[in-house]
Amino acid sequence: MENDIIFGMIGEKINEAKSIAILCHIRPDGDTLGSALALKNALKHKECFVYCDDAISQKFDFLKGFYDIRGGEIGSHDLIICVDCSDLGRLGSYSSAVKYHENTVNIDHHISNEEFAHINCVLGLSSTCEIIFNLIKFMGIEPDADVYKCIFCGLSTDTGNFSHSNTTHTAFAVASELVRLIGDISFITQRLYKDIPKSKLLLLGHALSNIKFYIGDKMAILTILLEDLERFGCASNDTEGFVDYAINIVSVEVGAILLECEKGRFKVSLRSKSADVCKIAAQFGGGGHTHASGCMLFGDYEEVVDKLVRNAEFYI
């Protein structure tokens, strides 16, 4: 379907709605939060509530509306818009509310998106924020700097600050327009990429000193156990970005981080230079992008590592 047709349908749904819930995914990143808050800030005249069923990193508190993000029970809204969610599972406890709601929209850029909503806008752009930018423009809304800061946040974080392979010319074109209105963006990049709490730095040091190599150093695995989080006083979302240290090692083709969520349950994030890690993740019911994917693995630590390495061997 033509993008304009889908944007037109979404615009119509938004205009008809009296109260809108915008849902972020669990382990919220700059793209899901930026997308949700950009939309909320752009729809000033509408009653919009942003929800997220997970803890949110304080580093995003420069986004307007950050402190109004809700957790807990979802209220009664006549339209639900999910942003940056590839499947219902990404919505945490809100998945059933979305599944059974009669008016849902799904805006996402993950190729593995399961198109779970009534209207699905899945475009292979750099980020969901890039889609939101186009949607807002299409709707004829004149965004202000607050909206643009939110969009910049998602565009920048999902492209690895404009360095990953999804850093397309359209991503730069959008960024160019954003910077024109925002002005100095150095305060945003300081918050997103440079500021690091002492506790997180110590956790990273611990993880790096225990990194394991497999498949002739072509695979590197970082591990964060629950006891590590406790020892350093960190939350699970403090591990965001750690996996980059594994994939950046010269010999490594697939980098992974295993994050213990509870005894016998590990959240796995995978990164690759050229291998298709989406296929590895898919073997375990996960998904994502070619070079960045994730899945959940169950079992003892050794068992989980063994499963993962044996599977990865096929794709390296």
Binding interface with Mn ion (CB under 5 A): 31, 84, 127-128, 158
Nearer to Mn ion, 155 or 312 (CB): 155
Cβ distance to Mn ion smaller for residue 77 or 90: 90
What is the closest distance, in whole angstroms, from the C-beta atom of residue 127 to Mn ion in the complex?
A: 5
Q: Is the dihedral of CA 308, 314, 315, 316 positive or negative?
A: positive
- Residues with Cβ within 8 Å of 251's Cβ and at least 6 positions away in sequence, in order, are 216, 217, 218
> What is the DSSP-derived secondary structure letter of residue 284?
T
Q: Tell me how far, at minimum, the Cβ of 211 lies from Mn ion, in Å.
A: 26
Four-CA torsion 4, 6, 8, 13, nearest 10 degrees: -170
CA-closest candidate to residue 88, choices 103, 76, 77, 104: 104
User: Closest CB to Mn ion among 126 and 223?
Assistant: 126
Instruction: Give dist(CA 252, CA 297) in Å, integer.
Output: 22
Q: Which residue is nearest to Mn ion (CB)?
A: 31
Sign of the CA dihedral with 171 first, then 128, 222, and 285 last: negative
- State the minimum distance, in angstroms, from the CB of residue 25 to Mn ion: 9
Closest distance between Mn ion and the C-beta of residue 232, in Å? 27
Shortest Å distance, C-beta 110 to Mn ion: 7
Nearer to Mn ion, 53 or 158 (CB): 158
Choose between 160 and 197: whose C-beta lies nearer to Mn ion: 160
CA torsion sign for 222, 227, 230, 233 is negative
